[in-house]
Structure 1
Amino acid sequence: MIRLLFIPQAKKMRKEWAQGDAIRDKDYSIPETVEVIKDISYGKHGKWNLLDINRPKSYSGKLPCIVSFHGGGWFYGDKELYRFYTSNLATRGFAVVSFNYRLCPEHPFPAHIEDCNAAITWLSENAGQYDIDLDHLFFVGDSAGANLVYHYSTLLTNPEFQKLYKFKVPAVKPKAVGLNCGTYNIDEQLEGNNVLKAYIQNPRKYAEQIKVKKYVTENFPAVYIMSAPNDFLRTEVEPMVEFFKAKNIPVTSKIYGTKEDPDACHVFHVNLKLAIATECNDDECNFFKKFC
Structure 2
Amino acid sequence: MTASAPENESTRTKNVRRPWRRTRIAVGCIAAVAAVVAVVGALSPWPSAMIIRAVFTKGGDETAAEMDKHVPDTKLTETLDVAYGDKGADTTMDVFAPASAAGPLPTIVWIHGGAWISGSKENVDPYLRILAGEGYTTIALNYTIGPEGVYPLAVHQLNDALAYIDAHAAELGVDASQIVLAGDSAGAQLASQMATLVTSPDYADLMDITPAIGADQLVATVLNCGVYDLAALAELDGIAGWGFKSAMWAYSGTKTWAEDATGATMSTVDWVTKDFPTTYISGGNGDGLTWLQSVPLAQRLEELGVDVTTQFWPAPHEPALPHEYQFHLDLPEARTALQKTLDFLDAHTTR
TM-score (norm 2): 0.76
8 A contact 2:228–2:266 mirrored in 1: no
How far the C-alpha of 1:123 sits from its partner, in A, is 0.6
The equivalent residue for 2:202 is 160
- Is 1:241 aligned with 2:283? no
Supply the RMSD in Å over aligned alpha carbons: 2.3
Instruction: Give the one of 269, 278, 295 matched to 1:222.
Output: 278
Greater fraction helix:
2
- Is 1:183 aligned with 2:227? yes
How far the C-alpha of 1:112 sits from its partner, in A, is 1.4
How far the C-alpha of 1:156 sits from its partner, in A, is 0.6
The equivalent residue for 1:72 is 114
Deviations 1:187-229 (A, max 9, x none): 5534672322322235435465335334321111011111111
The equivalent residue for 1:16 is 55
Judging changes above 3 Å, is the alpha-carbon distance between structure 1 residues 171 and 23 closer, same or farther for their aligned structure 2 residues?
closer
Percentage of matched positions with identical amino acids? 26
Deviations 1:111-159 (A, max 9, x none): 1111111111111111112221122111111111111111111001111
Judging changes above 3 Å, is the alpha-carbon distance between structure 1 residues 205 and 182 closer, same or farther for their aligned structure 2 residues?
closer
Instruction: Give the one of 110, 130, 141 matched to 1:99.
Output: 141
How far the C-alpha of 1:91 sits from its partner, in A, is 1.1
The equivalent residue for 1:287 is 344
Instruction: Give the one of 188, 201, 210 matched to 2:253.
Output: 201
Judging changes above 3 Å, is the alpha-carbon distance between structure 1 residues 214 and 182 closer, same or farther for their aligned structure 2 residues?
closer
Work out which of the two has the higher radius of gyration on C-alpha atoms and give 1 or 2.
2
Instruction: Give the one of 128, 131, 135 matched to 1:86.
Output: 128
The equivalent residue for 1:7 is 46
How far the C-alpha of 1:20 sits from its partner, in A, is 2.8
- Is 1:251 aligned with 2:293? no
8 A contact 2:45–2:249 mirrored in 1: no
Judging changes above 3 Å, is the alpha-carbon distance between structure 1 residues 240 and 135 closer, same or farther for their aligned structure 2 residues?
same
The equivalent residue for 2:7 is none
8 A contact 1:40–1:52 mirrored in 2: yes
TM-score (norm 1): 0.91
Instruction: Give the one of 73, 80, 87 matched to 1:38.
Output: 80
How far the C-alpha of 1:101 sits from its partner, in A, is 0.4
- Is 1:147 aligned with 2:189? yes
The equivalent residue for 1:265 is 322
Judging changes above 3 Å, is the alpha-carbon distance between structure 1 residues 38 and 31 closer, same or farther for their aligned structure 2 residues?
farther
**Which runs of no fewer than 5 residues in structure 1 stay unpaired?**
none
The equivalent residue for 2:26 is none
How far the C-alpha of 1:17 sits from its partner, in A, is 2.3
- Is 1:278 aligned with 2:344? no
Measure the CA separation in 2 of the matches of 1:269 and 1:42.
28
Measure the CA separation in 2 of the matches of 1:206 and 1:266.
24
**Which runs of no fewer than 5 residues in structure 2 stay unpaired?**
1-39, 236-240
Judging changes above 3 Å, is the alpha-carbon distance between structure 1 residues 2 and 145 closer, same or farther for their aligned structure 2 residues?
farther
Residue 266 of structure 2 aligns to a residue whose secondary structure is coil
The equivalent residue for 1:116 is 158
Structure 1 range deviating more: 22-31 or 142-151: 22-31
Structure 1 range deviating more: 161-170 or 136-145: 161-170
Judging changes above 3 Å, is the alpha-carbon distance between structure 1 residues 62 and 74 closer, same or farther for their aligned structure 2 residues?
same
Residue 218 of structure 1 aligns to a residue whose secondary structure is coil
Measure the CA separation in 2 of the matches of 1:215 and 1:229.
26
Measure the CA separation in 2 of the matches of 1:69 and 1:111.
14
Paired letter, 1:232: G
8 A contact 1:229–1:256 mirrored in 2: yes
How far the C-alpha of 1:3 sits from its partner, in A, is 9.4
Judging changes above 3 Å, is the alpha-carbon distance between structure 1 residues 14 and 248 closer, same or farther for their aligned structure 2 residues?
same
Judging changes above 3 Å, is the alpha-carbon distance between structure 1 residues 194 and 231 closer, same or farther for their aligned structure 2 residues?
same
Measure the CA separation in 1 of the matches of 2:85 and 2:282.
31
Residue 18 of structure 1 aligns to a residue whose secondary structure is helix
8 A contact 2:230–2:263 mirrored in 1: no
Residue 92 of structure 1 aligns to a residue whose secondary structure is coil
